[in-house]
Chains A and B, each alone.
Chain A
Amino acid sequence: MPEGIFCNRTPINTVEALHTLLADKSGKTYYAEMNALEVDRAALKATLDKTCKSRIRTWLEICAHCGMCADSCFFYLANNKDPKQVPSYKIQSTLGQIVKKNGDVDNAFMQMVMDTAWGKCTCCNRCGMYCPFGIDMGVMFGYLRGLCYSQGFVPWELKIGAGMHRIYRAQMDVTSEDWVDTCQWMAEENEEDWPGLEIPVDKEDADIIYTVNAREPKHYPEDLAEAAILFHIAGENWTVPSVGWEETSLAMFAGDWEACKLQVQAVYDAMERLKPKRMVVTECGHAYRATVIEGPYWAGLKSGKTPVPSFHYVEWVAEALRTGKLKIDPSKRIKEPVTYQDSCNYIRNAGLKECAREIMSYIAEDFREMSPNKEHNFCCGGGGGMNGLGRYREQRNIGLKVKRDQILATGAKLVVSPCHNCWDAIRDLEEVYHVGIRWSFLKPLLLKMVIVPDHLKSEE
């Protein structure tokens, strides 16, 4: 059987196909079928010829096998320094072999590659900072995931996730109607406490177009309300698009580059349509990475930039605090020791470390840095799609130990985590290891301590 009914090389493009795959609980049949999935060697070779160019080939070739990347990898550290977790070994034994054999590999090999690309690497890119040659194994694992996806060797959840983007232009089945309804609901729900509160949809020429993570309308609509209230207090002229509101990209985690392009194009189209001055994205790391950092390349924008200047939520918060749009009540600042989770995607891979420190200087009295921190921080343990993959749950939980120990070493019990994946990982590490920590996005913290101007207060 060259291809299965569930496990095959065809992306999910229809609601029917999506429901069929979703009905295969935990991907049981999907993974069973994967054992018989044939490798299309000719296609793999053709893809290598077309896309594996001098950068990656040079990286694979000149790697001095020095092992200096070993300690940079949290999986290596969390797994008692298992040599098989050395980043160089992981990439040389997978992509290195595929390139060496020019695509002539078999099913068992590709399954090992899949288990390495998703189960032993979160594409946090930390190893690249520790290699004297600047060999970025995270980038190569991203590329490798694309090769795996094109051959149908992709974790079940991410095949679904990429399909969601293809169908709904969102990582979850949230339609444009659902989204707009949620916006209206949240505005109505809070208008009593916040007279004049609006969540303006499709307003043209606003100063800010605000975009989110589909989990927010689907599971945490209060996050949207909190964003609206903070924009309201700050006096921002803002809007959300009815279409193109989703910033995340499970397609990026899956290596489905076509879906990546479709997804970011929807956001860029919203920018073109509504002509805002700038875009602000919610507290999500990979969403920012996908839509702001990598997205322009998927969409073929030669400037390498989004159609309007784009900002992560921490940039907006830092600016609002700096300019006094948001003022913090000094008596309500966080008194207890508090630490900050530097997200790989917007700190290491997008350079926003200073914004985070600036925010903490306004809201916390006893801010404690993790060690290491900023661009050298370790991945939370749940990046790169890892949080959502049942097949690698055990590996994920082992990996969380590094973050657990980093947090505990600060002495802080509260972790500020303006990134959905980090937030989830830290929540899960508490669930698994019971170390007595709490975690929070910025929005609820800010709402507790921001000074509300008199004219915005409700009459009660």
Chain B
Amino acid sequence: MYDFVTGPLAWLAFSVFLVGVIARVVLYIRGLDWKLDRVTYTVNVSYGVKGAIRSILQWIFPFGTHSWRSYPFMTVLVFAFHIGILFTPIFLIAHNLIMWERWGIRLWTLPEPAADFLTLTMMTCAVFLVLRRIALSEVRILTTGYDYLVLTIAVAPFFTGYMAHLQVADYRFWLILHILSGEVMLVAIPFTKLSHFVGFFLSRAQIGMDYGIKRGGMKNKGLAW
């Protein structure tokens, strides 16, 4: 079982993830239409690029925009959650050891307590994101089962990984579940809302170009996001 989930299944998951994500990007860009979107993407390019970069950069930092500053609690949740989800798997010592064993490459690694902290923080944030969905009427009205499913898919690899790491129960069981849930997440990225993995950058770039080219960017210093 272990060989299967870390072998062919892992390759399949990574391939679907990679091809899917590339397809997402290509299809998005191919679907942009200067006349329908009313943005001259290929004319006034420098204004577009500037607008896109500003739009991404200001939003990628916590409290970088009016919106982030208006919701400090949500901002902390969102950023702590995403830092955990992105950095922990890439810089986890256990993952890098596997890469080292298999391909002889490894990245800088997080000290174990730091990885534990990020994982626990990320999971705590997820709990608060759920509570927020239940507690706030403006979020509750938008929430569907699908939102919980997507959150579960994103959190599962971390929860199972942490359980395996604790080695308190059946290590083998949690490890295989961890690998499987990681693979589910990878495959889910191109096909679900998790596609915001690239969609965030595409959408932010697009609206940045819109403001940069058409909605004032050529007449002022740029929108104060």
- List the interface of chain A (C-beta within 8 A of B): 51, 53-55, 57-59, 61-68, 70-72, 76, 81, 83-84, 86, 88-89, 92, 128-136, 293-294, 297, 300, 302-304, 348-354, 372, 374-376
Instruction: Please indicate which of the listed interface residues B147, B204, B208, B216 has the most CB atoms of chain A within 10 Å of its own CB.
Output: B216
- The segment from B10-18, B29-37, B83-91, B170-178 found at the interface with A is B29-37
Q: Is A304 within 8 A of B208, CB to CB? A: no
Residues from chain B with Cβ under 8 Å of A302 in the complex: 34, 40, 43
Q: Say if the beta carbon of B196 comes within 8 Å of chain A.
A: yes
Contact with A57, one of B31, B147, B219, B225 (Cβ below 8 angstroms): B31
Q: Is A55 within 8 A of B32, CB to CB? A: yes
Q: List the B residue with the shortest CB-CB distance to A66.
A: B139
Q: Is B219 within 8 A of A351, CB to CB? A: yes
User: How many residues belonging to B are interface residues under a CB distance threshold of 8 Å?
Assistant: 60
Residues from chain A with Cβ under 8 Å of B216 in the complex: 348-352, 375
Q: Say if the beta carbon of B155 comes within 8 Å of chain A.
A: no
Q: Is A84 within 8 A of B141, CB to CB? A: yes
Residues from chain A with Cβ under 8 Å of B156 in the complex: none
Q: Is B225 within 8 A of A54, CB to CB? A: no
Residues from chain A with Cβ under 8 Å of B100 in the complex: none
Whether A375 contacts B142 in the complex (CB less than 8 A), given A68-B71, A304-B43, comes out as: no
Q: Say if the beta carbon of B207 comes within 8 Å of chain A.
A: yes
Assembled-state Cα–Cα distance A371/B152 (Å): 40
Minimum C-beta distance from B146 to chain A (A): 9
Whether A132 contacts B43 in the complex (CB less than 8 A), given A65-B147, A300-B35, comes out as: no
Assembled-state Cα–Cα distance A354/B137 (Å): 37
Residues from chain B with Cβ under 8 Å of A57 in the complex: 31
Q: Is B38 within 8 A of A133, CB to CB? A: no
Minimum C-beta distance from A345 to chain B (A): 10
Q: Mark B185-218, 1 if CB is under 8 A from A, else 0.
A: 0000000010110011011101110110111111
Contact with B38, one of A83, A297, A351 (Cβ below 8 angstroms): A297
Contact with A131, one of B67, B195, B211, B223 (Cβ below 8 angstroms): B67
Whether A62 contacts B38 in the complex (CB less than 8 A), given A129-B67, A130-B70, A351-B219, comes out as: no
Q: Is B138 within 8 A of A70, CB to CB? A: yes
Residues from chain A with Cβ under 8 Å of B200 in the complex: 62, 132-133
Q: List the B residue with the shortest CB-CB distance to A71.
A: B70
Contact with A62, one of B27, B66, B203, B225 (Cβ below 8 angstroms): B203
Minimum C-beta distance from A318 to chain B (A): 11
Q: Is B71 within 8 A of A89, CB to CB? A: no
Q: Is B214 within 8 A of A293, CB to CB? A: yes
Q: Is A53 within 8 A of B31, CB to CB? A: yes
Q: Say if the beta carbon of B143 comes within 8 Å of chain A.
A: yes
Whether A67 contacts B138 in the complex (CB less than 8 A), given A62-B193, A351-B220, A353-B220, comes out as: yes
Residues from chain A with Cβ under 8 Å of B219 in the complex: 350-352
Interface pairs (24), CB distance under 8 Å: A54-B30, A55-B32, A58-B199, A58-B203, A62-B196, A62-B203, A64-B193, A64-B196, A65-B139, A67-B136, A68-B67, A68-B71, A128-B207, A130-B66, A136-B207, A293-B214, A293-B215, A294-B38, A297-B35, A304-B39, A349-B215, A351-B220, A352-B216, A354-B220
Assembled-state Cα–Cα distance A72/B133 (Å): 18
Minimum C-beta distance from A396 to chain B (A): 22
Minimum C-beta distance from A447 to chain B (A): 27
Instruction: Please give me the 10 A-B residue pairs with the lowest Cβ-Cβ distance, nearest first.
Output: A351-B216, A54-B31, A134-B207, A304-B40, A65-B142, A67-B139, A83-B141, A70-B138, A297-B38, A351-B220
Whether A134 contacts B36 in the complex (CB less than 8 A), given A62-B199, A65-B142, comes out as: no
Contact with B143, one of A65, A300, A352 (Cβ below 8 angstroms): A65
Q: Is B142 within 8 A of A92, CB to CB? A: yes
Q: Say if the beta carbon of B163 comes within 8 Å of chain A.
A: no
Q: Say if the beta carbon of B28 comes within 8 Å of chain A.
A: yes
Contacting A at CB under 8 A, from B14-69, are 27-40, 43-44, 55, 59, 66-68
Q: List the B residue with the shortest CB-CB distance to A55.
A: B37
Contact with A376, one of B30, B36, B224 (Cβ below 8 angstroms): B224
Q: List the A residue with the shortest CB-CB distance to B141.
A: A83
Instruction: Please indicate which of the listed interface residues B133, B215, B225 has the most CB atoms of chain A within 10 Å of its own CB.
Output: B215
Q: Is B33 within 8 A of A53, CB to CB? A: yes
Residues from chain B with Cβ under 8 Å of A376 in the complex: 66, 224
Q: Mark B101-144, 1 if CB is under 8 A from A, else 0.
A: 00000000000000000000000000000000100111111111
Q: Is B207 within 8 A of A88, CB to CB? A: no
Residues from chain A with Cβ under 8 Å of B202 in the complex: 58
Q: Is B141 within 8 A of A62, CB to CB? A: no
